[in-house]
Each structure stands twice: as C-alpha cells, then as structure tokens.
C-alpha cells in the first residue's frame, strides 16, 4: 500500500499498525540539530549575583587605597578572589555558548522517517554527549593550566606563593617560599589557610570569613573555598563592617531557598566541575523533525484477512486446477500401464510357445530313437 505525502499524525498511526513493514523515505535526509533541538541552561546563582559585578569588585578595590592591609588580609585577597570567580562565570558562559553553536550546526542524517519512540532517545543521547564533552573539554583545559602553573612553580602576580628580597647594594634578589599553616608553597601549590582580616597595627585577627581561604595561588584557594558566608546576610554584614567605606550597593545574600544541585558549603571546585550549571533543559520537537524530513510517501505491506467467499472461491479454484492436472496426467499413465500389461502378456505367450516347441522337438527326437 502507498500513502502519498503522509502527515505526522498519519505516519504515527501507520507505524502503530505496521511497524515492521512501514517505509517512509525522507525528502530531506539531513538537517541541523537546531531544527528540532533547543537547549536552555541555568547557572549557579552566584553567576548572576552582585558578587561578580564590576560594582562589587570596585567597592573591594577601593578599600585597598584607603586602608593599610597585610598582603594576606581578606580585604585585599578578596579583590582577586571575586575577580577570578567573575572570570570563571564568564568563561563557562562563553564556553557553553560556543559549544552550543557548534552543536546546533551539526547534521542529523535520516534517510527514512523514524517514530518519536525511537527519535526521542536518540536525541537525548546527543544532548548527553554534548553535556559530557563540553564539561570534559573545559575541565581538561583548566587542569592543563593548573598543572603547568604548579609544575613550573610560577610566581603569583599577587606575591602569594613566594616572597622576593633584594640584597642591599648588590642588585641581587632571592625568593623565600610562603607557608600557609604547616604547608609550604615550595612543596605544594594547594596550601591554604582561613582567610581573615587583621588589625594592621598589631596583626591581630579581626574576623575570619567562614568558607573563604587564601593560599599559594588565587585559583587554588578559590577552588577550595565555598560561599556559605554569602548565603547568610548576617555574615555578609559582619564582613562589610570591617570596611572603611560603606557600600552604596544593596548587598543581599544568595537565596538558599532556590532549588539547586549544590549546597551552600559545596566547594567552588565542585561547582566549577559542573561548569557552574544548575541544569541543562533540552527541548525536543518531534514535529519539527518530521516536517523537515517531509516524507514524499509511505509504503507498507500487511497480511490480508480471508473471508468465507474468498476461501470457497480459492478451494473451487484449487479443485478445478487439480481436475485439470489429473485430466492431463491420468490418460498417459493409464496408457502406459495398459501397454505394460500387453507387453507382459505377449512375452508370456512367446515363452509358452517356445516351451511347447522345445517340448515337441524333444518328444520327436526320443520317438525316432525307439523306432
């Protein structure tokens, strides 16, 4: 059976009835993924928060100019920490956008229309591969940068891993590795300690910021930090109270009530390992695929159901054919058998006559002997 230019509804009805034999060639056998796939995504809320804005970073930077600070004071290191966090947010956004553009331009090849029950799992596999490859490629690039930095013991621009000293009058300099806790930056690039604010006059700790760390490299300490303080308005207000200049911005805590794949105390490395993405939301539109495929026709076969009339007619036809065949076969067979019998009777007569002749000849010979 042939159906010309079937609609999507017709095709699905036919497939439900004749899944084994239905064939519908596509008029267009290839199409871009974005013809039928749309992928939306949402980022961790910090990437849309005030804490990565230029206004927040400018506020942190201003403190550097109005206050005397130790090099490892949170009010100084936080400038670089949030700059780096902002960079990560921008980097993952750009990476996903670029990879999604490449993904959308890929070609889906389909010589024949396929039903939604097969099409949807195929497309979901494509989406899963996109997420996995995008994440793995990003993390591989990040790991390469981290390994290169650590293996070559590169100097931190913020002088957080080595201190440099000049020998007076000789023009020579030497370096001394910094330590965080009991960990030396000469032995490990991942040394960290709690990030704190200090009184400059005597070095006394004013406040240690929960979840935030400083260490040999800004990136390494950031990855081991978490944002639990910034989910708590009281903690934020406590931190801001040690700044000389009050912020003109409305600094509000991250919303802990929003659904998330992460916890407030999840390390930023855990967040970045997921590309800072809360969820990918693929939308697959089967109708768009089918319309792009645009089958010109569908063909299928099916076993016919035999009615009583059809069965009787068929039997009569078979009997008529059988009679015709017998008419053709039986006469030659009968003639053959008859001839066979006639030949047998002639042979018996001949043998009998020969026997009599021999007998008479023998009797004649014996009679002449006696007489």
| Between 313 and 248, residue with greater pLDDT | 248
Highest averaged pLDDT of the listed ranges 166-170, 222-226, 305-309, 327-331: 222-226
Give me the pLDDT at residue 326, please: 65
Q: Is 25 exposed, middle or buried (0-12, 13-18, 19+ CB in 10 A)?
A: middle
What is the spatial distance between Cα 103 and Cα 316, in angstroms, rounded to a whole number? Answer: 65
pLDDT value, residue 324: 72
Other CB atoms within 10 A of residue 63 CB: 18
Q: What is the pLDDT of residue 332?
A: 75
**Predicted local confidence at residue 356, as pLDDT:** 57
What is each CA distance from 74 to 166, 202, 231, in whole angstroms? Answer: 27, 16, 18
Share of residues in the chain with pLDDT > 90 (%): 64
- The model's pLDDT over 134-165, given as tens digits with 9 standing for 90+, comes to 999 999 999 999 999 888 888 888 888 888 87
Residue 78 has pLDDT above 90, yes or no: yes
Residue with tokens 């018996």: 348
pLDDT in tens, 246-269: 888 899 999 999 999 999 999 999
pLDDT score of 369 = 44
Q: Which helix (H) or strand (E) holds 38?
A: strand 37-43
Higher pLDDT, 84 or 168: 84
pLDDT digits (tens, 9 = 90+) for 155-206: 888 888 888 877 766 667 778 899 998 999 999 999 999 999 999 888 899 9
Average of per-residue pLDDT values in the chain: 87
Please say if the pLDDT value at position 371 is more than 50: no
**Of 221 and 368, more confident:** 221
Q: What is the pLDDT, as a whole number, of residue 275?
A: 96
Counting every residue, how long is the chain? 371
Q: How confident is the model at residue 370 (pLDDT cuts 50, 70, 90)?
A: very low
Lowest-confidence segment of 3-12, 28-37, 265-274 by average pLDDT:
3-12
* pTM for the model: 0.77
Q: Is the pLDDT of residue 367 over 80?
A: no
Residues 6 or more apart whose CB falls under 8 angstroms from that of 52 comprise: 46, 82, 85, 86, 89
What pLDDT is attached to residue 319? 67
Residue 1 has what pLDDT? 80
């Amino acid at each position: 059976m042939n159906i010309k230019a079937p609609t999507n509804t017709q095709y699905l009805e036919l497939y439900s009835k004749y899944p084994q034999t239905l064939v519908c060639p596509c008029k267009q056998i290839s199409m871009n993924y974005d013809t039928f796939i749309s992928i939306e995504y949402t980022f961790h809320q910090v990437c849309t928060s005030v804490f990565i804005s230029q206004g927040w970073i400018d506020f942190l930077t201003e403190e550097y100019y109005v206050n005397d600070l130790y090099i490892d004071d949170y009010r100084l290191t936080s400038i670089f920490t949030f700059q780096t966090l902002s960079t990560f947010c921008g980097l993952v956004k750009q990476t996903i956008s670029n990879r999604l553009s490449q993904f959308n331009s890929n070609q889906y090849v389909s010589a024949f229309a396929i039903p939604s029950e097969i099409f949807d799992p195929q497309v979901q596999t494509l989406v899963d591969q996109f997420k996995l490859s995008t994440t793995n490629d990003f993390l591989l690039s990040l790991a390469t940068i981290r390994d290169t930095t650590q293996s070559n013991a590169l100097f931190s621009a913020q002088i957080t891993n080595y201190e440099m000293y000049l020998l007076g009058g000789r023009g020579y300099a030497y370096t001394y590795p910094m330590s965080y806790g009991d960990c030396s930056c000469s032995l490990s690039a991942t040394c960290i300690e709690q990030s704190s604010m200090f009184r400059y006059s005597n070095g006394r700790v004013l406040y240690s910021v929960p979840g935030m760390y400083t260490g040999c490299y800004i990136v390494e300490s950031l990855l081991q930090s978490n944002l639990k303080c910034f989910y708590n308005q009281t903690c934020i207000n406590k931190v801001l109270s040690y700044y000389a200049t009050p912020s003109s911005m409305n600094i509000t805590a991250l919303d802990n009530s929003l659904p998330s794949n992460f916890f407030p105390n999840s390390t930023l490395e855990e967040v970045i390992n997921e590309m800072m993405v809360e969820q990918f939301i693929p939308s697959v539109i089967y109708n768009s695929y089918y319309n792009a495929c645009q089958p010109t026709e569908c063909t299928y076969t099916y076993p016919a159901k035999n009615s009583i009339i059809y069965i009787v007619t068929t039997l009569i036809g078979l009997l008529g054919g059988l009679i015709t065949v017998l008419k053709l076969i039986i006469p030659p067979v009968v003639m053959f058998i008859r001839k066979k019998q006639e030949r047998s009777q002639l042979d018996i007569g001949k043998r009998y006559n020969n026997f009599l002749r021999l007998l008479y000849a023998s009797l004649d010979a014996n009679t002449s002997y006696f007489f």
